[in-house]
Amino acid sequence: MHTLWRIISGSFKWGWRLLNFIREFILNVFLVVLIIVVVGIYLQVRHTPPTPTKGALVMDLTGTVVDKPAMNNKVRQLGRELLGASSNRLQENSLFDVVDTLRQAKGDANITGLVLSLKDFAGADQASLQYIGKALREFRDSGKPIYAVGDSYSQAQYFLASYANKIYLTPQGAVDLHGIATNNLYYKTLLDKLKVNSHIFRVGTYKSAVELFLRDNMSDDAREADSRWVGQLWQHYLTTAAANRQITPQQLFPGAQAMLDGLRAVQGNTAQFALNNKWVDEVASRSAIDDALTKAFGWNKRDKAFNGISIYDYQPATPSQQGGQIAVIFANGAIIDGPETPGSVGGDTTADQIRDARLDPDIKAIVFRVNSPGGSVTASEVIRSELAATRAAGKPVVVSMGGVAASGGYWVSTPANYIIASASTLTGSIGIFGVINTVESSLDSIGVHTDGVATSPLADVSMTKTLPSEFSQMMQLNVENGYHNFIDLVAQSRHKTSEEVDKIGQGHVWIGSDAAQNGLVDQLGDFDDAVSKAAELAQLKQYQLNWYLDEPGLLDLLFTQTSGSVYAVLPRVIQSWLPAPVTQVVDRLKIDVGLGFNWNDPQNRYAFCLSCEQVVR
């Protein structure tokens, strides 16, 4: 009895200690959060943007540039002050904030030049790079010099650097110009070994997204189509960068063998090779580059550096705007059914924003910015129908296409009064598919079997059983109906016959310049052109932009900034354990099989351009 009592009392004692620990832990967490909130509010209240003396604007972009970041830039600025600056290359920057900052700095008397320090810049789609390049050209044409500095330049970094008056490279550095490629992983043999049955329903000769499950290599049709737009995208890159450097595209990229011969001639000295090819203007040490920048902008004794201010700290006064409002609504990312999640387009969320703009008497027109490879057909139709209602209500809708507006991204663009795309936009990909994987053979091989009863074959659908023939036929009919609806929508909006659209459809991906020739878009241009067109259609002589962006709160900031810091550290730790090729394969696998995409269409139908997401920069 004494032993039993000791066991019971011991259990009670340890249970009580556990409860006390949980209570104290929760109270401590709340206390820490409260302290952070108070400090954050204090910093926000007392914060005044730094006023630079005359000097350079330092464009030290970190991470990627996207149309619509997961977190608002103003909130992230507070995070930099509260939690410290981050070198996280997963950070997202707003394309439009970057361009607006460059344009305001152009007219700021305190800003006497620009320094491109792009070592932490991870890249952007080519349409975005060209739009930033346009702002850089405007800055340079204002008479203010641009200097690019770096130990090395990636392909995306070099594209922006090519706009500089002078490009510096350190002696051990390199310029990585290699071209553009697409690569997919194919799983047919793997699925056969795992005895997984992939049931594919598709329409479109070029709808290559499903080939990953059907083949072990790329089909000839897909290879031909992808080769065309990949080659054109690379030529656009070369033409622009070569013109900036005042050399020919052939001089900029003479080909793999010529580059190999050139490297042999300089004993593999990549910096000297870049100088010989006129990719850069001067090879110099960091200290020599600092001296040159100090001579150009003066010396800051406090910071012990040349006079300059980071693009993240530069906060010029925003000029007042007058006139009618033009709503700017984003479709940035894969299209999913339901509410929006970070990095995706929620059909319900986007439709609600469009409806709000339609019913707002102060909104006179909509610029719908599309940068999406597509996704759920159901969600795409929800967005499209709301845009159609807006146009029917008499409010002009202008679509501004970013780097990609394909499949579902083109579906949602069809109601527009006018479509403007970049010459480098990937669009079209008019086609639909469905994929259902079943594992009955896998289970059979390990002795697990499924059996039961059903009132009809249509009720007996399970991933653990063979799909009923009736259901498969209905799925194919459903997909075909979706495709016919797609081409009919395009035909109606582009004033073509369904047969004409079918010829340029079939899942074929077109680059913007081809899309203009095929009549899929009205004009080649950028976001500025789309805004001007919206103002013209709405008959607005003066206008202001109403950006439909979420404003995250302080807690969102804390969680996002903290998780960003974790992501910035963890991959380095993990990658130090794994061989580099392994981590690259894992990253590619996530993209290829859509692990980052919520496949939630209620009818399992998707208008999605997977190859548009595969461009290796």
Task: Report the catalytic residues.
Answer: 207, 407
Sheet of 334-336, strands arranged across: 197-203, 432-438, 606-608, 374-376, 334-336, 344-346
What sections of 393-468 are H helices per DSSP?
408-411, 440-445
Using the structure block, give the residue that is written with the tokens 């991470």: 63
SS3 readout for 238-284: HHHHHHHHCCCHHHHCCCHHHHHHHHHHCCCCHHHHHHHCCCCCEEC
d(CA 617, CA 609): 18
Name the strand (E) or helix (H) holding 56: strand 55-59
Name, in order, each residue with C-beta under 8 angstroms of 189's C-beta and a sequence gap of 6 or more.
216
**Phi, psi at 588, each rounded to 5°:** -65, -35
**DSSP per-residue string spanning 477-509:** HHHHHHHHHHHHHHHHHHT--HHHHHHH-TT-E
8 Å CB contact between 496 and 484: no
Strand partners, 426: 404, 511
Sequence length of the chain is 617
Question: Which candidate, 429, 394, 435, 434, places its Cα nearest to that of 408?
Answer: 429
d(CA 345, CA 125): 18
If you ran DSSP here, which 8-state letter would residue 611 be given? Answer: G
